[in-house]
Amino acid sequence: MPQQRCSKFHMTVRADRACCGGLSRRGFLSLAAAAAWVPSAFGRAIVAPLPREVAGVAIPRSRNAALAADYAKQHQPDFLFNHCMRTFIFGALYARKMRLAFDADEAFIAAAMHDLGLLPGFASKDASFEIDGADAAERFGRSLGLSERRAEVIWRSVEMHDGKWALTSRQGPEAMLVSAGAAADVDGPESSVVDARQAAEALEAFPRLQFKTRFTALLVDHCRRKPLSQRSTWLEGLCRETVPPAWMETVEHEIASAPFAE
C-alpha cells in the first residue's frame, strides 16, 4: 500500500454523474460477459442494508451502490468485505482532509471490489490481482449500465489502489480515495485524519474479524497460485519469499539471453 499521504484540503461530493452511451474499451464481448455477473434480484439489494452513515461518512444509498455492496458481500469472505467497507470510510475521511470532490458511487463500487482479484474465482492465469480485480469491477460497472468513462474510473481506482502514490494521485479523486482508504485499513490511519472515535465507529460497524491473520493468509495463497503475477507490485516481496524457485530469472539473465551478439 502507498506510504505517502496527502493532507490539506476539504471534501465536497459531486452529485451522481449522468451516464452516456458507448461500449467499454474492451468492447461488446466484455459487456455481454458481464450479464452473468448481475445479481439474480437485479434492481434491489438482497443483503442487510448498510448503515446510512459511519464516522461522519455518508454511505451511498443509490441503486448502483446497493447492488455493488450486495455483489461484494456475496462473493467475498466476511473479513474482506468489511475491509472494503472500511476502505471507503477511511478513504472518504482522507478525501475530506484533501478537499477532494469525488463521485460517491464510483468510489464506493471501486472500494467494495478492490480486492476481488485475490480470490481464485476472479483470477486470470497470469495477471496481477490488481488487474484481475479492476477487470471484474469494470465488468460489474458495465453490467449496471455505467458509461465507458465511469467504468474506466472504477477500473483505474482498483488497479492503482496499492501503487506508488505519485502515479495513483494522477488517476483522479476516486483512485486516491480507494488507495488512501485501503492503506489506512492495512497499515493504520493517521490520527490527524481519522481520530480515535471515527476509527472505533468504523470498526464497530464493520469489525476486523481477524483481518491481519486472514488477509495475510489470502495474500500468501495468491502468491502460491500466481507467484510471478506480482512483478513490480506491492506483493512482489511476499511472492518472492513464498515461492523462491519461481524467481530464479534475473535481469542479468534477461540481458544475456537477448538475441543479439553483444
Per-residue pLDDT of the chain (262 residues; tens, 9 = 90+): 444 433 333 333 333 333 333 444 444 333 333 333 333 333 444 556 899 999 999 999 999 999 999 999 999 999 999 999 999 999 999 999 999 999 999 999 999 999 999 999 999 999 999 999 999 999 999 999 999 999 999 999 999 999 999 999 999 999 999 999 999 999 999 999 999 999 999 999 999 999 999 999 999 999 999 999 999 999 999 999 999 988 887 677 778 888 898 8
CA within 13 Å, CB half, 64:
24
Q: How many domains does the chain have?
A: 1
Its domain, for residue 152, covers 58-209
Residue 145 is assigned to a structural domain of this protein = yes
User: What pLDDT is recorded for position 119?
Assistant: 98
Please report whether residue 167 resides in a domain: yes
Distances (CA, A) of 198 to 75, 89, 185, 210, 233: 27, 9, 13, 20, 30
Q: Is position 132 within any domain?
A: yes
Beta bridge partners, 53, equal 58
C-alpha cell read off for 106: 464510483
Residue 10 lies in a domain: no
Residue 47 has a pLDDT of 58
Question: Is 135 a member of any domain?
Answer: yes
| Signed CA dihedral, 128, 35, 72, 167: sign only | positive
pLDDT value of residue 256: 83
Q: Specify the pairing of strand 101-103 against strand 53-54.
A: unpaired
Span between the terminal Cα atoms of the chain, in Å:
39
Cβ atoms of 10 and 96 closer than 8 Å? yes
Where residue 162 sits, what CATH number does that domain have?
1.10.3210
Residue 114 located in a structural domain: yes
Domain assignment present for residue 152? The answer is yes
Quick check: is 155 in a domain?
yes
